């Protein structure tokens, strides 16, 4: 029962923060020929070692559900990069002052930021066919990132990002 409550709270937390994903792909690619994959050996994800492991585990699980398997002789390679940046505060309070009378008017308004800045993370996932086409599919996700999140929350957030990112693979014609 306790784990159900925790799961619901995590899902609520993950569900409240939007994950935006942009996809791009080579329209001439026959995606049905790609059945196996591997990661670049010298990949620098920009994540901590633990978060990288969480992300790769989530990708492996999702790829298996798509019928793709990891292989030592892969059809394509996966490269992952990420960047952390601070966004502008989203919530502001407006304070206004105005006056007027007889064909004259005026006003002053300012926005006061409420709360701190938002920390966001952009994760780029590239699928590369080094034997032929080169880069043939790419997803760029952007979402909020809590640097103080617990390991469980980090794992759930990365799983949600992977679900959203790989929802666009293979592209629908």
pTM: 0.74
- Domains and their CATH numbers in the chain: 19-86+119-173 (3.30.160.670)
pLDDT of residue 10: 45
- C-alpha–C-alpha distance, residues 117 and 120, integer Å: 10
Give 37-83 pLDDT, tens digit per residue: 999 999 999 999 999 999 999 999 999 999 999 999 999 999 999 99
Distance CA 50, CA 34 (A): 28
Task: Identify the band that residue 118 occupies on the pLDDT scale cut at 50, 70 and 90.
Answer: confident
Assess whether the previous peptide bond of 170 is cis (omega < 30° from 0).
yes
Residues 75/35, Cβ–Cβ less than 8 Å: yes
In the numeric block, which tokens belong to residue 132? 């032929």
Confidence bin at 119 (pLDDT 50/70/90): confident
């Amino acid at each position: 029962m306790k784990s159900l409550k925790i799961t619901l709270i995590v899902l609520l937390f993950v569900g409240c923060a939007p994950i935006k994903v942009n996809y791009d792909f080579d329209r001439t690619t026959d995606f049905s020929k790609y059945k196996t994959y591997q990661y670049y050996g010298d990949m620098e994800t920009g994540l901590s070692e633990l978060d990288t492991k969480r992300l790769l585990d989530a990708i492996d699980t999702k790829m298996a559900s798509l019928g793709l398997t990891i292989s030592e002789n892969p059809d394509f390679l996966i490269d992952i990069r990420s960047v952390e940046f601070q966004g502008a505060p989203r919530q502001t309070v407006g304070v206004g002052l105005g006056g007027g009378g007889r064909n004259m008017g005026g006003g002053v308004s300012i926005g006061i930021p409420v709360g701190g800045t938002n920390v966001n993370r952009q994760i780029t996932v590239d699928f590369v066919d080094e034997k032929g086409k080169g880069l043939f599919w790419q997803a760029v996700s952007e979402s909020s990132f809590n640097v103080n999140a617990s390991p469980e929350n980090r794992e759930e957030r990365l799983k949600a990002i992977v679900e959203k990112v790989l929802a666009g693979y293979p592209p629908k014609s």
